[in-house]
Amino acid sequence: MKIAVIGGGPGGYVAAIKASMMGADVTLIEKRKVGGTCLNVGCIPTKALLACSEMLMNVRESKSYGINIDGTIDANFESMMNRKDKIVDQLVKGIEFLFDKKGVKLVNGFGKLISKNEIEVSKEDGSKEVIKADKIILATGSVPIVPPMFPYDGEKVITSDEALNLKELPKSMLIVGGGVIGCEFGQFFRTLGTEVSIVEMNDQVLPFEDKDVAKQLQRSFKKDKIKLLTGKKIQKCNIEGEKIVANLDNGKSVEADIMLVSVGRKPYLENLGIEDLGIEVERGKIVVDEKMQTNVEGIFAIGDIVNSPFLAHVASKEGMVAVQNALGKDKKIDYTAIPRCVYTEPEVAGVGLTEKQLQEKGIQYKIGKFEFRGLGKAQAIGKFQGFIKILADNEDKVVGASIVGPHATDLLTELTLAVHLGLTVEQVGDVIHPHPTLSEGLMEALHDVHGECVHSVTKAKADA
């Protein structure tokens, strides 16, 4: 069985390796570097930079840990960028190494469908090659959205792509959009000394999360002296000399050296040839069934180009499901328990339904909550802002959870498993958690659902 994959991001390259492991003859077509947005201009480089700013914050706070550092503490922006590039290059080579060992053929160039079994690849040298395959998986990813009202030039008005390749640290930055990308970049640049303003049209950052979750992050932003303008819209935007000036709907204006537009991403489907083959598209996304197959037999689509969350781990899972179905298996994907992660300080993580969604659906629910400041480990490491929140339905099943605080993204896995398997609060809460750890907070929050949290007085008072 010959399988061809267009796109080498976290969906495409995982699909290719999985297919090869299952015995298929696999070719992956990628116009740039393997790893896609996630590895080259997304998840990995931003986390590499955030690790640098976190280290800087730790050094600045060293005195509170009994460590005195004499002299000037400088942030070397160029060195941080070089470190980020080195990490990305190493991981790209790692994927290419896996391709070589797993038997995946990599073809560099732009792939276009010319039939349901053929892909025309246009290469940098002008030559073309036709790849034939029994099954094809589309995984072309997404690109940043830049509304026409913004004078995007890649220099004064930029997207996350350009932000990751800046040569100099800007003195001031206006970020449009308080979602994951805006929050992460905002905190990174602010820690290094950039004056940061974030404009968000909704009444909170991270609009998808519950208000109590966003409030914790907004408190941290206030402490960092990030200027947060929620519930505001930009009506007009111009480049005036060396500054970018944005006029808001409240009559005020904000100016900065650079504007970072982070209002979302859109599927990349240009010149892919899907129209000629009659592949169904709805609202800019390819329509697939629960097996990730399009309406054209033998052609599958995964990742940011289909109607699912724009997340690397979702694309990877979809890739494995698509491959297994392409090779005759019967696999379906379950979107019930998709982890959501924000790598700010404090970190924000969530899975399953939010309170907002439960209320909209009219589902009755119970809450269990525990603050990190109640944990010995959190006090010991000096990281105790935030909380863990468990949401359970009337059958006691864990249907959602939110964590704001230290290592939230790592702690989320246990609750993701609970939501995925439909476990009850009692089942997960009965698990012995090691002491002293941050994971004890999960147990405490689970116990709090039934008012049985030993280290909390909130519900005990209510029940008395």
Q: Which residues are catalytic?
A: 435
Cross-strand partners of 3: 26, 135
> Could you give the C-alpha distances from 200 to 59, 177, 197, 204, 387, in angstroms and in order?
31, 5, 10, 7, 24
Other C-beta atoms closer than 10 Å to the C-beta of 201 total 16
Query: In degrees rounded to 5, what are phi and psi of residue 133?
Result: -150, 150
**Alpha-carbon span 85 to 48, nearest angstrom:** 9
d(CA 455, CA 179): 34
Phi, psi of 245 (to 5 degrees): -115, 125
Q: Are 385 and 220 in contact (CB under 8 A)?
A: yes
d(CA 246, CA 65): 42
